[in-house]
Amino acid sequence: MKSMSRVLKEDRRSFGRATTGLLRGLMTSVALLALATGSLEAQTASPDQAAVLGTGVQAPLRFAGESGPENQVTLSFGASAFYDDNVFANNVGRVSDEGVSLSSHFGAARQTEHLRLTFDYMPFFMLYRQSDQYDRLNHTANVNLSYQLSPRFVLGLHDAFSYQNGLFPSLSGQQIMSGPASPTGLDQLIYPYTTRTLSNAAGLDVTFEKSRRTSVTLSGGFGQRKFGSQTTTQPLYNDVELSGGLQYQYRLTPHTSFGILLLHQDTTYQGGQVFGNRLRSQVENVFLSLGSRVSPSVTITVYGGTEYFRTIGESAVLVRTSGRFQGAGGASITKQVGKTAVDLSGQRLVSDGGGLYTSVIKTSASVGLRRRLVGRWEGSWYGGAIRADSSLFQLASGKTDGVMSGVSLSRPVARGSVFRVSYDTVHQLSKGTLPISATFDRNQVSVGFDYRLKAIDLGR
């Protein structure tokens, strides 16, 4: 067991690295916030419409009529006990342990005539009873804003940052999301064998609203994933992605919108071995999408198109250096009523391989459900399945299949606290050119309380 002083010293170093990355990721946001206060999405669809496919962020899954906090700053604290039956996500030499999680959350939401802003920051600390490798401070943060520059121009910004030691699906406080996932987002469904992951995904866009029915959006994005303290001799791939897009959106009816998205993605992978130590790939995307609110409680988004994939620069035996066309598409359906909210989504496109691979063909499906139960109880459930296929490359045989699911129950209790109990499970199987440590099964159970310490009204 490490001494407490050594743990604290390493925690300070960890905190310093995470803070530096966080500050870099949010620097643009802070500059804009100095001008004013902003929004959840760069271009928000009318309440009577469904959003078409874009390069922004998904919205939280909510009940009909439910909204997030507005013009408010909140501070909360959480504590939970948990059991983990595979601490190191490795079926070879499987280790189980229990521990406690301490978390806090700072949130700010502001809305004015021209701006809307949401900002969330959640540091949380894990303390296992026997395994001290994950006894570190973790960080997640995100900011989403938009600013009405003029009657016709809207400036949008979003940034999501995470610095996490290990895999804690039930403890990281992530909300169930709804709507189509961004094609530029980092893959969150493949779980690599590592003890530390830093990820950052940011985007900036400008929307020109030509009329009440027509708009054009120019966007740029940056994504980064970096691994450390890897527990295997098979290194993972760090990646940096730059993207740029042009989107045309036309409102066909009061409830339906049509969109065309042209997107360029340029990604550089470093650190791995299977596909070479360094590999650069480019993907050109053309997507057509249709979003419609088919009833007061149901919205549907359908999209499809083609992608052109190629590799640039250094090549290896497995690499296909010539271009390849790849079909892509997906759909999302969301139903929201007073006591039930559910979202079903599916997608197939070229994506990053979550650190195990470079670029892959990703086929995924997910479901999220929230339900108000008897009394003041609320239940939620999520599930997902993914296949990452490396057949984009000649002679490659790597393939990873993953299934994940989780269920939680919560109930408000005295003085602003909320009682929660949750169970999460992950099953992942890899075949081909990857080591066996990419295959594992893991289950986690946690019980705890969240308590709101302070809520400050910002006024109008």
- Identify which has the larger pLDDT, 392 or 322: 392
| Percent of the chain whose predicted confidence (pLDDT) is above 90 | 52
Assign residue 294 a region: left if phi > 0, alpha if psi is -120 to 50, beta otherwise?
alpha
* pTM to 2 decimal places: 0.83
Q: What is the pLDDT of residues 166-214, one digit of tens each?
A: 766 555 557 888 888 888 888 878 887 776 889 999 999 999 999 999 9
Cα maximum dimension of the chain: 65
Mean pLDDT, the chain, rounded, equals 83
pLDDT in the model for residue 258: 96
Q: Which two tokens stand for residue 282?
A: 């480019």
- pLDDT of 261 reads 96
Three-state SS at 222: strand
pLDDT, tens digit, 9 for 90 and up, residues 336-391: 999 999 999 999 999 998 888 888 999 999 999 999 999 899 999 999 999 999 88
Bridge partners (DSSP) listed for residue 289: 259, 303
CATH of 43-55+147-453, one of 3.30.2010, 2.40.160, 3.40.50, 3.40.190: 2.40.160
H/E stretch holding 26 reads: helix 4-35
222 neighbors 182 (Cβ within 8 angstroms): no
- pLDDT number for residue 67: 81
